[in-house]
Amino acid sequence: MRILILCTHNARRSQLAEALLRSLAGSRCEVYSAGTEPSQVDPRVLTVLGELGIPVEGLRSKSVEEFRDQHFDVVLTVCDDARERCPVFPGAPRQLHWSLPDPGQVQGRPEEVLEAFRRVRDELLERLRQEILPLLP
């Protein structure tokens, strides 16, 4: 099974989801993430993943164009902008959307911002366990 997770910049939410799902699913599926306007992986993503011991090797911001002609069993958008702008993946039998807040937009002390990253990480972890893992072989 192949899963693609999309967000606008492929910097925060989709990177969190990619790393978390890879860790949860192991060899049961191939997981990728991409953005409609890729930038760079936010270092705070690496911090909150590291808190759970989730591997972060190989995480990089990628363009959705890298995956345009590939087949995916599930395409998941994790931000509203990406849902509106992402190309259609006609071969994907399941297209899901989760509207998650962008933790990078939170203003405040560094610890408050990091807490926003943790909240998104934890919500993703719960939703991946409940909604994606049951789909895997």
Q: Is 7 a catalytic residue?
A: yes
Q: Which one from 4, 6, 7, 75 is the annotated catalytic residue?
A: 7
Report helix, strand or coil for 122. Answer: helix
Tokens of 65: 């164009």
Across 1-93, where does the E strand assignment appear?
2-7, 30-35, 74-77
Residue 135 DSSP one-character state: G
Q: Which one from 41, 59, 64, 79 is the annotated catalytic residue?
A: 79
Q: Is 29 a catalytic residue?
A: no
> How many residues in total does the chain contain?
137
Is residue 24 a contact partner of residue 91, using CB atoms and an 8 Å limit? no
Q: Which one from 41, 86, 92, 124 is the annotated catalytic residue?
A: 86
Place of tokens 């893992």: 133
Contact partners, residue 50, CB within 8 Å, separation at least 6: 56
Tell me which residues are annotated as active site. 7, 79, 86
